[in-house]
Amino acid sequence: MSEKLQKVLARAGKGSRREMETIISAGRVSINGQVAYLGDRVEGNEQIKIDGHSVSLQAKDEEICRILMYNKPEGEMCTRKDPEGRPTVFDRLPKLDSSRWIAVGRLDINTSGMLLFTTDGELANRLMHPSQRVEREYAVRVFGEVNEAMLQRLRAGVKLEDGPARFQKISYRGGEGRNHWFHVVLSEGRNREVRRLWESQEVQVSRLIRVRYGDMEMKRQLPAGGWTELSLPEVNYYRQLVNLTPEVKSKVKVDEKVMDNAKSRRIRRSVKKHQSRQQQATRRRRS
């Protein structure tokens, strides 16, 4: 059975289907030495290259969908490599042999919290796509005067430069003086959308933390800069959420506790070691 080229490349860990469609359209992919075109199908025994580099194909029945939950700290870039040498969210992720981690959406450099990574490009694409209406919840600290009329406008919808936008839910979580905490919910992930919505009301966001993606919340014991791999039931929650078939295999042991104090301490030690290596590398670059 043949499959679409972009689907095979996504499964090989080269990016999401949408990203693969873009590079195919740009003429960067070849099949058996011939330039590939969008719409091409492959059997799986062809020699496929991207920018002249061979792609190691993975049979569909050998694929294991994996998902990581990462607690992104402020100051990290959502890119694989930063030209300025700043730390990225990919720096500490476990190495993969025949695929790669794909970020499910992005958080800007000043935003922290829950970020998902998966080896399945189709899953990543569906979880990000606005048509799936997957909820994202953020804890937001704002600076400025906030009144009920303003909150009603944010719920009803305001016009941004890239179209109308609104919060599906807003709940007040306390504060002092002109600093207030709110939890807000969106079902799309436009660039800096949370910040831009508040700024449309002349209110400044001073802290932004993603705390939930879908119905799954950030694990409380996961330290900033740490990651944990999701169990098979958790992986299948996200797959079924976007109408993909359930997975039957997992790299996580069945009897492994999802998160306990001992595991949290191990992750914290690992994060500190990584931060120490980063600081040493930074000092060497500056010297």
What distance in Å separates the CA atoms of residue 205 and residue 141, rounded to the nearest whole number? 6
Q: Please check whether residue 29 lies inside any domain of the structure.
A: yes
Residues 150-180, buried b or exposed e (16+ Cβ, 10 A)? bbeebeeebebeeeebbbeebeeeeeeeeeb
Q: Are residues 188 and 224 in the same domain?
A: no
Closest by CA position to 23, among listed 63, 57, 65, 52:
52
State which residues form the domain around 19: 3-58
Q: Are residues 225 and 262 in the same domain?
A: yes
Q: Please check whether residue 178 lies inside any domain of the structure.
A: yes
Q: What is the mean pLDDT of residues 181-189?
A: 94
Q: Please check whether residue 272 lies inside any domain of the structure.
A: yes
What distance in Å separates the CA atoms of residue 55 and residue 180, rounded to the nearest whole number? 50
Q: What is the mean pLDDT of residues 245-263?
A: 74
What pLDDT is attached to residue 284?
Answer: 72
Q: Could you tell me the CATH number of the domain that includes residue 35?
A: 3.10.290.10
Q: Are residues 147 and 204 in the same domain?
A: yes
**pLDDT tens digits for range 94-144:** 988 767 899 999 999 999 999 999 998 889 989 999 899 999 999 999 998
The DSSP element (H or E) to which 21 belongs, if any, is: helix 17-25
Residue 152 neighbours by CB under 8 Å, 6+ apart? none
**pLDDT tens digits for range 11-52:** 777 877 888 999 999 999 999 999 999 999 998 889 999 999
Q: Please check whether residue 129 lies inside any domain of the structure.
A: no
Helix ranges (H only) for 170-244 are 193-199, 232-241
Q: Could you tell me the CATH number of the domain that includes residue 172?
A: 3.30.2350.10
Instruction: Give bridge partners of residue 183 from the DSSP assignment.
Output: 139, 171
Q: Are residues 85 and 223 in the same domain?
A: yes
Catalytic residue annotation: 108
What distance in Å separates the CA atoms of residue 61 and residue 2, rounded to the nearest whole number? 14
Q: Are residues 100 and 221 in the same domain?
A: yes
Q: How many domains does the chain have?
A: 3
Domain boundary among 213, 242, 258: 213
What pLDDT is attached to residue 62?
Answer: 62
Q: Please check whether residue 25 lies inside any domain of the structure.
A: yes
Q: Are residues 23 and 77 in the same domain?
A: no
Q: Are residues 201 and 147 in the same domain?
A: yes
Q: Please check whether residue 109 lies inside any domain of the structure.
A: no
Domain boundary among 156, 189, 213: 213
What distance in Å separates the CA atoms of residue 2 and residue 6, rounded to the nearest whole number? 12
Q: Are residues 150 and 12 in the same domain?
A: no
Domain boundary among 23, 41, 58: 58
Q: Are residues 267 and 142 in the same domain?
A: no
Overall pTM > 0.85? no
Q: Please check whether residue 75 lies inside any domain of the structure.
A: yes
What distance in Å separates the CA atoms of residue 215 and residue 137, rounded to the nearest whole number? 9
- The most distant pair of C-alpha atoms in the chain lies apart, rounded to whole Å, by 66
- Higher pLDDT, residue 286 or 241: 241
Q: Are residues 139 and 201 in the same domain?
A: yes
What distance in Å separates the CA atoms of residue 104 and residue 238, rounded to the nearest whole number? 11
**pLDDT tens digits for range 193-215:** 999 999 999 999 999 999 999 99
What distance in Å separates the CA atoms of residue 171 and residue 104, rounded to the nearest whole number? 25
**Residue 88 has what DSSP assignment?**
B
Q: Please check whether residue 127 lies inside any domain of the structure.
A: no
Helix ranges (H only) for 215-260 are 232-241
Q: Are residues 221 and 99 in the same domain?
A: yes
Q: Are residues 88 and 222 in the same domain?
A: yes
The proportion of the chain whose per-residue pLDDT surpasses 70, expressed as a percent, equals 94
